[in-house]
Amino acid sequence: MSKFTSCLSQGKFYEQETLKYIEHDAHEFSVGKCKEWDIKVSKQGLPVYYEVKSETNAFKYGNLCIEYEYNDGKSGIDATIADYWVHFAIKDKVKNIYTLFIIPTGELRQLITDEKYLRKITGGDRNLSKCYLFRMTDLKKYIQEFKAAAAL
């Protein structure tokens, strides 16, 4: 399996996983390379949009990466129209142990405007991603549920 296929599969898995944590009457997933949102749910007839990310190195370094640019184009937080940013910090992929952050996108953007992130970094595929690096402990008020004893 290619790295792209593996990452896509992981992303789709966590989009499905997100539905376990959010109230909704109906849902749909974005199709293709949609930068604006991953999940649209209907809640009492009103649409709510979610951007879903998962990260396997979060516990290794204690940080979350919030992408804002990829290959010189808007991406992640700068491209989404989502109401909520959902971020799975994966502790054990095999056992499906993670910490889940659900952050109102407006609040995340305000944290960025106020420079509450640790620093900006470049990385990812061929160093084409630019991200804001946040300490997980600085975002702990957005933790929704633990799947295991992965306390911060």
pTM of the predicted model over 0.85 = yes
- Assign 34 to helix, strand or coil: coil
Give the pLDDT band (50/70/90) at residue 115. very high
Measured CA to CA, the distance from residue 87 to residue 121 in angstroms comes to: 18
pLDDT single digits (tens) 79-99: 999 999 999 999 998 998 999
Please list the residues that pair with 40 across neighbouring strands: 28, 49
| pLDDT greater than 60 at residue 151 | no
pLDDT single digits (tens) 15-55: 999 999 999 999 999 998 889 999 999 989 999 999 999 99
| pLDDT greater than 60 at residue 111 | yes
Measured CA to CA, the distance from residue 5 to residue 48 in angstroms comes to: 28
E strand intervals along the chain? 26-29, 39-43, 46-55, 63-70, 73-74, 84-92, 97-104, 119-123, 129-135, 143-146
CA distance readout (Å), 128 to 9, 33, 67, 94, 131: 21, 17, 10, 28, 10
What confidence score (pLDDT) does residue 11 get?
84
| pLDDT greater than 90 at residue 7 | no
Fold of 3-59+81-113+137-146: Trna Endonuclease; Chain: A, domain 1 (3.40.1350)
CB-CB contact of 138 with 144 (8 Å):
no
Please list the residues that pair with 35 across neighbouring strands: none
Mean pLDDT calculated for residue range 54-67: 96
Measured CA to CA, the distance from residue 114 to residue 119 in angstroms comes to: 12
> What residue ranges do the domains of the chain occupy?
3-59+81-113+137-146
| pLDDT greater than 50 at residue 102 | yes
